[in-house]
């Protein structure tokens, strides 16, 4: 479920979760702050999906972990 297919809605894929995370990362945040903001999102639902979305973004070079906070890469 990393990428959407004709049977998986784009927002239900991990790529969609990553897009939602990037929308919330206008400023640096801790994982706890990000989870508190996104736990009610129907696409995220579990902490595991949040972490998998963050992992995907990290592998793509779009987010960085710096001193315990997550931020968009290049900012």
Tens of pLDDT along 34-50? 999 999 999 898 999 99
Alpha-carbon distance of 2 to 5, in angstroms, equals 9
Which pLDDT score, from 0 to 100, does residue 75 have? 66
Q: What are phi and psi of 37, to 5 degrees?
A: -75, -30
pLDDT band for position 4 (50/70/90)? confident
Query: What's the whole-number mean pLDDT along residues 9-13?
Result: 82
Q: Average pLDDT, stretch 11-29?
A: 92
Predicted model pTM? 0.89
User: Radius of gyration of the chain from Cα atoms?
Assistant: 12
Q: Are 72 and 25 in contact (CB under 8 A)?
A: yes
Largest CA distance in the chain: 40
**Spacing of C-alpha 25 from chain mean position:** 9
């Amino acid at each position: 479920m990393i990428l959407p297919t004709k049977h998986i809605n784009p927002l239900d894929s991990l790529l969609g979760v990553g897009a939602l995370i990037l929308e919330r990362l206008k400023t640096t945040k801790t994982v706890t702050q990000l989870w508190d903001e996104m736990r009610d999102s129907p696409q995220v639902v579990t902490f595991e999906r949040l972490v998998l979305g963050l992992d995907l973004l990290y592998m793509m070079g779009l987010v960085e972990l710096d001193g315990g906070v997550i931020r968009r890469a290049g900012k």
